[in-house]
């Protein structure tokens, strides 16, 4: 194990990636939840690919809240709650709530021959 660790570097996520979390559109406006934009919550993260959502929001909900649209391929992590630490990789474009963080790793972080 020590031989492997000797080759590793210790770094903060902010040293090699950008992070941002989503937000929740107002529940007092039920129309916000009648759209076709997948809306991912921390409970949807399953330590694997995330290819479907249980709820959907509208474009107006996205514009009227701090929810953000993340592209397919985004690495997601649950920030708190019962699923804290759970991961997922989006296979679809999707918005998320504030309990989910999107991590965008810089392209040159991973060596080509790892």
CATH class as words, domain 12-105: alpha beta
The secondary structure of residue 43, as a DSSP letter, is G
pLDDT digits (tens, 9 = 90+) for 40-73: 999 999 999 999 999 999 999 999 999 999 999 9
Question: How far, CA to CA in Å, does 41 sit from each of 7, 14, 34, 90?
Answer: 36, 23, 16, 12
Give which of 36, 99, 111, 106 is closest to 67, Cα–Cα.
99
Query: Low-confidence residues of the chain, pLDDT below 50?
Result: 113-114
Please give the pLDDT value at position 96.
94
Total-model pTM: 0.82
């Amino acid at each position: 194990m020590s031989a492997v660790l000797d080759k590793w570097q210790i770094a903060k996520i902010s040293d090699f990636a950008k992070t941002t979390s989503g937000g929740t559109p107002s529940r007092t406006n039920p129309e916000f939840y009648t759209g076709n934009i997948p809306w991912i919550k921390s409970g949807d993260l399953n330590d694997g690919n995330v290819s479907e959502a249980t709820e959907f929001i509208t474009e107006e909900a996205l514009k009227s809240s701090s929810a953000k649209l993340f592209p397919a391929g985004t690495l997601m992590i649950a920030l708190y709650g019962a699923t804290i630490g759970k991961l997922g990789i989006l296979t679809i474009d999707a918005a998320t709530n504030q309990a989910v963080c999107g991590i965008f790793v810089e392209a040159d972080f991973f060596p080509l021959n790892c």
